[in-house]
């Protein structure tokens, strides 16, 4: 026959067992519930922190890259401007040089031509003079063949031509 305790019956050993029970349950709950859960929570926190720092680092790197690229782009602009301006400078210089050379050559050709023309003119003048002298000599010879001294006539005509030449040719 199974007996029952009285409603209130104090038993020292039962109290001790109950005390030990609570202590054992405390260690078990700590080991199997709080330990793992807190562990996983701290792990998750660490993961989140890690991700945040990684994201920060990535943002920093991107920011740096952006700045670098912007600087590079600006540098490239300046360089292009430089190249353009130097090229146009070069072209200008060269064109000026070419024009100058062309001018010089043209001038020299002009000078040569003038000199040649002068020479020709002189030759022509001399030729004409001679011919005039000859022609007038011959004319006068023919007109005054008999009575006039050729020598006198020649002098006369020469002086005339001399005057003529003086009037239109100052070089002489």
Range in contact with other proteins (rule: CB under 8 A) among 32-40, 70-78, 84-92, 99-107: 32-40
CA atoms within 13 A on the CB side of 35: 7
Where do we find the tokens 């130097």?
86
Residue in 125, 160, 123 with CA at minimum distance from that of residue 140:
160
Q: Is 53 in the site for other proteins (CB under 8 A)?
A: no
Instruction: Give the shortest CB-59-to-other proteins separation in angstroms.
Output: 22
Q: Is 16 in the site for other proteins (CB under 8 A)?
A: yes
Nearer to other proteins (CB atom), residue 7 or residue 142: 7
Where do we find the tokens 């064109």?
95
Given a contact cutoff of 8 angstroms between Cβ atoms, the answer to whether 160 and 133 are in contact is no
Range in contact with other proteins (rule: CB under 8 A) among 14-22, 58-66, 112-120, 131-139: 14-22
* Separation between Cα atoms, residue 109 and residue 90, nearest integer Å: 28
Given a contact cutoff of 8 angstroms between Cβ atoms, the answer to whether 157 and 140 are in contact is yes
Nearer to other proteins (CB atom), residue 43 or residue 94: 43
Size of the site for other proteins (CB under 8 A): 41
Range in contact with other proteins (rule: CB under 8 A) among 33-41, 104-112, 127-135, 159-167: 33-41
Cα 108 from chain centroid? 37
Q: Is 54 in the site for other proteins (CB under 8 A)?
A: no
């Amino acid at each position: 026959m199974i007996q029952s305790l009285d409603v209130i019956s104090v038993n020292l050993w039962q109290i001790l067992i109950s005390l030990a029970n609570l202590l054992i349950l405390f260690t078990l709950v700590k080991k199997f519930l709080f330990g793992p859960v807190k562990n996983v929570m701290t792990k998750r926190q660490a993961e989140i922190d890690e991700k945040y720092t990684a994201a920060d680092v990535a943002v920093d790197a991107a920011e740096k890259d952006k700045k670098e690229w912007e600087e590079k782009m600006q540098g490239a602009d300046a360089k292009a401007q430089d190249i353009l301006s130097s090229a146009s400078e070069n072209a200008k210089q060269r064109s000026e040089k070419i024009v100058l050379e062309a001018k010089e050559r043209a001038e020299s050709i002009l000078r040569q031509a003038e000199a040649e023309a002068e020479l020709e003119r002189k030759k022509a003048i001399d030729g004409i003079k001679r011919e005039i002298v000859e022609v007038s000599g011959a004319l006068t010879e023919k007109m005054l063949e008999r009575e006039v001294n050729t020598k006198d006539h020649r002098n006369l005509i020469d002086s005339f031509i001399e005057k003529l030449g003086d009037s239109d040719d100052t070089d002489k």
